[in-house]
Structure 1
């Protein structure tokens, strides 16, 4: 029995460092995404960014335009700002690009983004959207710190500006990579980006927020219903608990 326990402890001791090494090799540490699906203004801004930039190549077939009324938009606002004239309000958010053409142009069909936030996580998306940097060895001229050798170009580079990946040497002489934002003044205004770092991060937070909402639209209503249920139970049970306590302790002196 003691021998079996010692073997189990030894096995765990071997597995834990390996798991830690695997986690560190899996990619860079991800910053916490500032997600709040109750923030309708953020969701509306994210929806606009998504439609104007992502929907050109990526579809969101599990999402319909009319569901955007749930984040505070009217049908007229959706039709006037987020839809093509040929689309109908009840249609899915599909891309017009042919899949065969997409495979020829990009080497692979851009994935559907309906539930990407559930499969990858909000922190991953937030890091990915902000992690593009110049890499002339790549066909598009761009790479990504979170998704190495990414095939997607940096379509928002005119907002963010250019980033470069520096190679430095640590104390042991091994090469390490370090993401560094190109400092203002070293590039032209266009290359430096139309938005400063804080503004760009806020836009990417809005876009990530919308994709989190899009992956599970009912979560907003579910949370609202949950708050109402808790409030109802509190109002119902508090008086009952008070009178029960009063009745229980009435004979205790």
Structure 2
């Protein structure tokens, strides 16, 4: 039997062997050397054991703007993302893949929380800021949280008090203080996000903070700070001289 004319052989898929090559590069050069889309591919390999996942990885980054944005996205939002491969076939992010990526975000959040609670909150301030950014910087709606602390300024509980719209989350100072009493908390830190991305405090933010401080003062509960999380930073009321 004669060999088939090489020019007539079917072309191999461009992604054939790509997974092995990418894993080898990760081993040889280290994970930090990989661009975001290739790092994302490594996780997608686990959720989608066959096929080319590079278009999906790039489509996710295009849709959500960054690796942190991808991981912070909801399952519902992720499953709206579609990509077209080299053969023109459309592939969507399935619910299982989206759930796997959301689980990765939760792992990162818990690791950051561990770092923030190893020491007193005051002495691990950088770790605390990293934690609140990870938890809130990509939230699409405003979320009001309270970090309750004990007498040694160690974190007792991080609680979501309320969720709102894209620019407002209702806050009830008496509820904040009541919960502090239930937890035997002697201090707290208020945290909320601005989905617009700009962490600059609004007049309403300043007024609400004063109300919480007044309600807490009457019961000898200290309000250490109010942190507003934006997409590219965190504003501290204490550093801004607003409390």
Structure with bigger helix share is 1
Please indicate, yes or no, whether the TM-score normalized by the shorter chain is above 0.5: no
- TM interval, short-chain normalised: under 0.3
Larger RCO (CA under 8 A, 6+ residues apart) = 1
In proportion to residue count, which structure has more strand? 2
